[in-house]
Amino acid sequence: MQSDVLQLTAQILSSRQISRREQRRMTALLNKSELHESERVLINRVFYGVRHGLLTTVD
């Protein structure tokens, strides 16, 4: 799973866009207890970018 999170966050951060589907997927991943701390950090960076206008949300 770690490589999935890494690939997804890399794609989002490089394109500076996140879809609503990707947002829901990342939220669901954060709720899983087996998520590694490094994966949580990556997902939180994405949500930081969304909150601060660094990433655009697309449909």
What pLDDT, in 10s, does the model give residues 2-59?
A: 789 999 999 999 999 999 999 999 999 999 888 999 999 999 999 999 999 999 999 8
**pLDDT score of 40:** 95
**pLDDT score of 39:** 94
Please report where in the chains the tokens 């950090």 appear, as a residue: 41
- The domain total for the chain is 1
Task: Enter the pTM of the model.
Answer: 0.89
- Structural domain of residue 32, as residue ranges? 2-58
- Which pair of tokens denotes residue 45? 């960076």
**pLDDT score of 54:** 96
- How sure is the predictor about 1, in pLDDT bands with cuts at 50, 70 and 90? low
Round to whole Å and give the CA distance between 35 and 20: 21
Which residue, among 16, 57, 52, 9, has the nearest Cα to 30 in the 3D structure? 9
> Cβ distance 57 to 20 under 8 Å?
yes
> Cβ distance 18 to 54 under 8 Å?
no
